[in-house]
C-alpha cells in the first residue's frame, strides 16, 4: 500500500529507478559541457537579437562560467526530472530566478535535447572515422611493401588465381574509403542545428537560428522545426553507415584470422596481439582478431538495434528516439571504434610470410587461366576450346601441379601446338600471370604502385577533412570569455 501511495506523486519510485536515474547519470557523463555550450550560444543570440539586454547577457555568461561541473556531477537528481532542471536550479540559485528564467526564452527542452545528442553523435562519428582511417593507413603501408608479393586469391574459399598482397589490400582500402565517404555524408546531416525549433513550432520571438548554429559548430540548420524535433534519420543514417563498415571489416578480419592459422600460415601476429594457452605450451592464438570479430559483430548488432528501436514509432516528439535509445547508439560507436583500432594495431605489427605465399601461388594449377589465354593469343583458338584443352591437361596431371608436368600433358594432348615447352612453363609462372595483368585495377606491380600512390593522396584528404571538422565542431569561442571554456566536452 505504501508503494501504491508513493506512486501517486511524480516520479513513482520504479519510474525513477528504471528511467530517470539512469538517464540522469548518462546526461551528467556525456552532456554537461554540451549543455553549457548551448546555454552560452542561446544567451548570446538572445542579446544579439535584443531579446535580453547586454547587461543581462554579461551576468548570465558569467554565471554559466561559474557553474561547477564537479559539484553537479556529484549531486543527485533530487526531485528534479533531469540534468536540464538541475542546471537550471543551479543558475537560479546563482543569479536569481528572474534572470535565469530569461535564458529559457524561445527554446524548449525538446530542441535542446536533440541538439545535445547531435553534438555528441557528431564527435563519436568523427572518432569512428578516425579509427577507420587508422586501419586504412596500416593497410596502405603494408600494400606499399608488397606490390611484388604474389599470393593465391580465393573464390568460393578455394584457391583460384595468383594475385599480389598489394592488390588484395588495395581492395580493402577501397571499401574503407567508401565507408569513410558514407560517414562523411552522415556527418553532413547530423551536423545540422535544431536550436530554434523550440517544442516543435519555433517561437514568436525573432531568434537567429543561423547565428546559434554557427556558435555551436553546426554547418546548417535542421530547418523544418517539426522535422528538427521528430525526425530520427540523422541517427539511423549513422547506424546504417556503421553497419556497412562493420560488415566490410568483418569480412576482412575473417580472412586475416584464417591466414593466421597454422594451416594457412600467411600472416603472423606480433606477440603483443597473440596469447598462449594455460595447458598447451605450443599454442599461439591470434586472439586480437577474435576480439576484432566480436567487436565488429557487436557494433553491427547495436546498429541494427538503433534501427529496430526507431522502426514503426510515431513521427513526433517521443521518448523512443531520445534518452532510452542513446546508450545503444553510444555502445555502437564504442564497439565500432574498438574493432577498427584493434585491427589496425594488429595488422600494423603483423609479419607476412612472402616465401610461403609465393609457393602457394605457384601450386594447385592457379595459373591455368593464363595458359588458356596464351593459347588464344598465340594459337588463334577461341577461349572455350583453349579452356577445355587446358582443363584436360590439368586432369591428366593428377596431383602433379608442376608447370613442366602441365606442359608435357598439353603437348601430348595437342602435339601440333606451336608453343614450346619453355613458353608453356613461362605462361604458368605466377609472376608472369600477375605481371601481364596491367588492366586498370589489376594486380600488375606497376598498377598497384600507382593505386597505392593515389590511395595515399586520398588518405591525406581524409585526414585533412577530419582535422577541419574537429576544428569546426569546437564552435566559435572568440567573442568573449566562454562560459564553457572550463567545461570541455566528454
Just list the catalytic residues.
Answer: 156, 277
Residues 447-451: contacts with CB under 8 Å, at least 24 apart: 448/143, 448/147, 448/164, 448/166, 448/167, 448/170, 449/144, 449/147, 449/166, 451/166, 451/170
Backbone angles phi, psi at 175, to 5 degrees: -70, -30
- CA dist., res. 467 & res. 458, Å (int): 14
Cell match 596491367: residue? 438
- CA dist., res. 102 & res. 52, Å (int): 7
- CA dist., res. 30 & res. 191, Å (int): 17
Supply angle C-alpha 36, 38, 44, rounded to 5.
100
Query: Could you please report the per-residue DSSP string of 343-412?
Result: HHHHHHT-EE-HHHHHHHHTSTTTTHHHHHHHHHHHH---HHHHHHHHHHHHHHHTT---HHHHHHHHHH
SS3 per residue for 406-451: HHHHHHHHCCCCCCCHHHHHHHCCHHHHHHCCCCCCCCCHHHHHHH
- CA dist., res. 318 & res. 309, Å (int): 12
Cα-only R_g, the chain: 31
- CA dist., res. 209 & res. 483, Å (int): 20
- CA dist., res. 460 & res. 137, Å (int): 10
Q: Secondary structure of the chain: what % helix, strand, coil (to 5)?
A: 65, 5, 30
Terminal Cα distance for the chain, rounded: 43
Amino acid at each position: 500500500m505504501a508503494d501504491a501511495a508513493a506512486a501517486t506523486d511524480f516520479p513513482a519510485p520504479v519510474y525513477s529507478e528504471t528511467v530517470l536515474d539512469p538517464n540522469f547519470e548518462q546526461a551528467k557523463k556525456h552532456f554537461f559541457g554540451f549543455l553549457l555550450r548551448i546555454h552560452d550560444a542561446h544567451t548570446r543570440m538572445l542579446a544579439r537579437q535584443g531579446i535580453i539586454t547586454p547587461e543581462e547577457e554579461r551576468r548570465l555568461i558569467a554565471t554559466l562560467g561559474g557553474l561547477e561541473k564537479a559539484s553537479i556531477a556529484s549531486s543527485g537528481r533530487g526531485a528534479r526530472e533531469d540534468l536540464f532542471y538541475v542546471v537550471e536550479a543551479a543558475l537560479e540559485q546563482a543569479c536569481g530566478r528572474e534572470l535565469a528564467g530569461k535564458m529559457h526564452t524561445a527554446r524548449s527542452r525538446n530542441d535542446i535535447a536533440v541538439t545535445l545528442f547531435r553534438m555528441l553523435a557528431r564527435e563519436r562519428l568523427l572518432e569512428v572515422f578516425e579509427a577507420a582511417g587508422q586501419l586504412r593507413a596500416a593497410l596502405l603501408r603494408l600494400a606499399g611493401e608488397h606490390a611484388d608479393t604474389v599470393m593465391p586469391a580465393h573464390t568460393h574459399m578455394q584457391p583460384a588465381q595468383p594475385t599480389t598482397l598489394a592488390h588484395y589490400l588495395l581492395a580493402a582500402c577501397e571499401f574503407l574509403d567508401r565507408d569513410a565517404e558514407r560517414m562523411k555524408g552522415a556527418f553532413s546531416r547530423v551536423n545540422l542545428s535544431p536550436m530554434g525549433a523550440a517544442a516543435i513550432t519555433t517561437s514568436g520571438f525573432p531568434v537567429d537560428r543561423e547565428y546559434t548554429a554557427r556558435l555551436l559548430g553546426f554547418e546548417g540548420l535542421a530547418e523544418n522545426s517539426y522535422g528538427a524535433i521528430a525526425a530520427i534519420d540523422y541517427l539511423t543514417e549513422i547506424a546504417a553507415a556503421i553497419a556497412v563498415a562493420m560488415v566490410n571489416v568483418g569480412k576482412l578480419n575473417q580472412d586475416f584470422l584464417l591466414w593466421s592459422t597454422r594451416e594457412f600460415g600467411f600472416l603472423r601476429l606480433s606477440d603483443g596481439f597473440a596469447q598462449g594457452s594455460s595447458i598447451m605450451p605450443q599454442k599461439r592464438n591470434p586472439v586480437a582478431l577474435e576480439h576484432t570479430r566480436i567487436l565488429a559483430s557487436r557494433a553491427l548488432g547495436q546498429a541494427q538495434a538503433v534501427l529496430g528501436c526507431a522502426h514503426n514509432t510515431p513521427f513526433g516528439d517521443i521518448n523512443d528516439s531520445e534518452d532510452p535509445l542513446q546508450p545503444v547508439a553510444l555502445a555502437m560507436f564504442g564497439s565500432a571504434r574498438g574493432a577498427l583500432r584493434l585491427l589496425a594495431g594488429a595488422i600494423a605489427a603483423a609479419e607476412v610470410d612472402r616465401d610461403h605465399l609465393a609457393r602457394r601461388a605457384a601450386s594447385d594449377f592457379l595459373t591455368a587461366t593464363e595458359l588458356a589465354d596464351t593459347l588464344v593469343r598465340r594459337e588463334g583458338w577461341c577461349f572455350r576450346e583453349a579452356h577445355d584443352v587446358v582443363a584436360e591437361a590439368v586432369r591428366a596431371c593428377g596431383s602433379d601441379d608442376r608447370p613442366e608436368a602441365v606442359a608435357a600433358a598439353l603437348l601430348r594432348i595437342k602435339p601440333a601446338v606451336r608453343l614450346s615447352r619453355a613458353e608453356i612453363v613461362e605462361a604458368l609462372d605466377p609472376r608472369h600471370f600477375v605481371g601481364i595483368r596491367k588492366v586498370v585495377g589489376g594486380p600488375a606491380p606497376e598498377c598497384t604502385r600507382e593505386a597505392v600512390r593515389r590511395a595515399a593522396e586520398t588518405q591525406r584528404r581524409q585526414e585533412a577533412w577530419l582535422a577541419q571538422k574537429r576544428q569546426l565542431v569546437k564552435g566559435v569561442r572568440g567573442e568573449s570569455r566562454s562560459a564553457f571554456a572550463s567545461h570541455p566536452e566528454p
